[in-house]
Each structure stands twice: as structure tokens, then as C-alpha cells.
């Protein structure tokens, strides 16, 4: 059969009409938003805030479903294998990119087996030391590492605090010893006691520790200063580059093959939710900074994140627990 110009035009028109119809019909039933961690944590809490507003914006219930285990991989695997119809999504965080690198796990591939929907928020981390520490800046920490033994605590291998500490040592050409703990609470407790030099702690809950004079905040891993700590410089301002997006991040992804019109519908609805004052207020209350923006920008962010952490994990020889 000869494929004429008229046939091609008809096919293009048919595809446009089909895409438009799909976009208008979506969503026609409830949407499942999977979370790979237990209820009550930062990822779960923020996801429920977003899902509640999205249910109104989309006109269908957005149901949050926790499938905890394997550092988020159980939920990730489930979404990778789901129908690419926009009804099963993954609410994920920094581990989405880091886990496959640490675990040498080729499948599912976060860049090939998923489509980016929205970069929803970031949760900056702050480098903190004990209140009576002689260090008063991040540069003081670097100077200490050149002359003495510096340690840094984290909530476990591969988490934001571990990677931030490893990146600081790698970037400054210094040696700093990683001390992992089972959770952020024991990690910061060891810093408060002075037994560990520093940690990168998330904005969530940090204000109380600073107000009680248990720790001193020295620098924040964000592109700009945080309103909770206006006098605390960013790591970049303190003279060390590469830390603008080193804190925890959050986002929504869908299975590869999800129709572009559905991705666009979801992205628009999420942007509208993130712009609502009541939603922003609740996220800021969790220590987060809402982001939003086009899906293409999130795709680029994921690609850059993968390149950065692949290089660091290889250079620093970081292993999974």
C-alpha cells in the first residue's frame, strides 16, 4: 500500500484527536500514588498533603498507598511494572536515583523505565555542629580536616547526609570519616554530644534544636538562604560550589510510555496545587521548599543528579549497607 501525503495528514490528525480525547477523559477513576516508605515520614507526610489537594484539582480521588521496604525499591518496582495509563504513580525522593547506583541494580532504570512528571519540592539539609564546637563556618570544618580527624554522622549509607558529607570531603580534597547510624535522631545526638564533628541535618525539626542551643547551623545545601535561618549562608556563599541541590528532593514519576497528554495534565494540576497558599504553607511547615515547573525540567534534573552521584559514589567507593 502506498503511504501518500494525504494518508500521513490523516494519521497525524487522528493521533492529535486521540491524544486530545485521552487528555479530556483523564482521569476517569481514582489514581494510586505509591510511597516506598512507612507512614509518618517526610515523604509520606508531604505526599498526603499533595494528594488531598490533587483529588480536588483532578476531580478523582488520589489514594496514597505505602509499600515500604528495600529503601523504596518495592514501590519503585511496582510502578515500573504498572500499566502506563496515569493511574499508578510513584511519589519518590533522592533514593530514586541513588539506590540503583549503590546497589548496582540495572532494573528498573530510573531514567529509562519512568517518565518525569513533576519536581515537587526540596528539603534542604544544614551542616550543623555541637553548640560548643570551635567551628563557626563550613570553612572551619575544612581547615580542621586538614590538620585533625573530622567525622560526620548520617542516618545510613547512601542517604542525603552521607552523600553531602562525602561530597564535601571530595570537593575540598580532605579526609572525613563517615559514621552511619540507624536514623537521624541518633546521628544528631552524637553531634550534640561532641563525639562526632558534624552532620547534614534536614530542615524538618532543626529549628527546635537551634533554638534550644543544642547545635549551631553553619551552612545550608540550597540555592538560596532559607527564611528560617536568614543568617546562615548557603554552601556556595561559603565558598564551596556544587551544593545547590544536595538536600533531599521529592517528585512524581510515572511508568515509561505514559501518554504525554496525561503527563501534562498531571503536571499542570500539581503546579496548581503547589501554587495554592494553603498547600505551600503546609509544605514550608515541614521544612520543604515547593518547586514545580515543567516535566522536562524535572527530567533534566534527574539526569544531572544521576551523573553527579554516579561520579561521587565511584570516586569515594561508597557501598550499600
Name 112's Cβ contacts closer than 8 Å, sequence gap at least 6: 256
CA-closest candidate to residue 125, choices 38, 203, 59, 194? 203
The average pLDDT across 67-76 equals 90
Q: What is the Cα–Cα distance from 321 to 318, expressed in whole angstroms?
A: 9
Name 48's Cβ contacts closer than 8 Å, sequence gap at least 6: 64
Could you give the domains of the chain?
Answer: 27-123+248-315 (3.40.190.150), 125-220 (3.40.190.10)
- Report CA-CA distances (Å) from 99 to 96, 158, 223, 246, 255: 6, 7, 24, 15, 18
The average pLDDT across 111-126 equals 95
Give residue-wise pLDDT tens across range 171-229: 999 999 999 998 889 999 999 999 999 999 988 789 899 999 999 999 999 888 988 89
* In the predicted structure, residue 96 carries a pLDDT above the cut 80: yes
Confidence at 20, pLDDT banded by 50, 70, 90: very low
Confidence at 19, pLDDT banded by 50, 70, 90: very low
**pTM of the predicted model, to two decimals?**
0.85
* In the predicted structure, residue 6 carries a pLDDT above the cut 60: no
Q: What is the Cα–Cα distance from 188 to 194, expressed in whole angstroms?
A: 10
Amino acid at each position: 500500500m502506498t503511504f501518500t501525503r494525504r494518508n500521513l495528514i490523516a494519521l497525524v490528525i487522528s493521533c492529535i484527536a486521540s491524544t486530545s480525547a485521552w487528555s479530556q477523559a483523564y482521569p476517569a477513576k481514582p489514581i494510586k500514588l505509591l510511597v516506598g516508605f512507612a507512614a509518618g515520614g517526610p515523604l509520606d507526610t508531604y505526599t498526603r498533603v499533595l494528594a488531598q489537594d490533587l483529588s480536588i484539582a483532578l476531580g478523582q480521588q488520589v489514594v496514597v498507598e505505602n509499600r515500604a521496604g528495600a529503601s523504596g525499591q518495592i514501590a519503585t518496582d511496582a510502578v515500573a511494572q504498572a500499566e502506563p495509563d496515569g493511574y499508578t504513580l510513584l511519589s519518590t525522593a533522592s533514593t530514586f536515583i541513588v539506590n540503583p547506583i549503590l546497589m548496582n541494580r540495572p532494573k528498573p532504570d530510573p531514567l529509562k523505565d519512568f517518565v518525569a512528571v513533576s519536581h515537587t519540592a526540596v528539603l534542604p539539609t544544614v551542616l550543623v555542629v555541637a553548640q560548643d564546637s570551635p567551628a563557626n563556618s563550613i570553612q572551619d570544618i575544612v581547615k580542621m580536616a586538614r590538620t585533625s580527624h573530622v567525622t560526620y554522622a548520617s542516618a545510613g549509607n547512601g542517604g542525603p547526609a552521607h552523600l553531602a558529607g562525602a561530597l564535601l570531603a571530595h570537593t575540598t580534597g580532605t579526609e572525613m570519616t563517615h559514621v552511619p547510624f540507624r536514623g537521624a535522631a541518633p546521628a544528631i545526638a552524637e553531634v550534640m554530644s561532641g563525639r562526632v564533628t558534624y552532620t547534614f541535618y534536614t530542615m524538618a525539626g532543626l529549628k527546635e534544636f537551634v533554638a534550644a542551643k543544642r547545635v549551631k547551623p553553619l551552612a545550608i545545601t540550597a540555592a538560596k538562604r532559607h527564611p528560617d535561618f536568614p543568617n546562615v549562608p548557603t554552601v556556595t556563599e561559603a565558598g564551596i560550589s556544587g551544593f545547590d541541590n544536595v538536600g533531599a528532593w521529592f517528585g512524581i514519576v510515572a511508568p515509561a510510555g505514559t501518554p504525554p497528554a496525561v503527563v501534562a495534565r498531571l503536571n499542570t494540576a500539581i503546579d496548581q496545587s503547589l501554587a495554592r497558599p494553603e498547600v505551600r504553607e503546609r509544605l514550608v511547615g515541614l521544612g520543604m521548599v515547593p518547586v514545580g515547573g515543567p516535566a522536562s525540567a524535572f527530567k533534566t534534573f534527574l539526569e544531572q543528579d544521576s551523573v553527579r552521584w554516579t561520579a561521587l559514589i565511584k570516586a569515594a567507593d561508597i557501598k550499600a549497607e
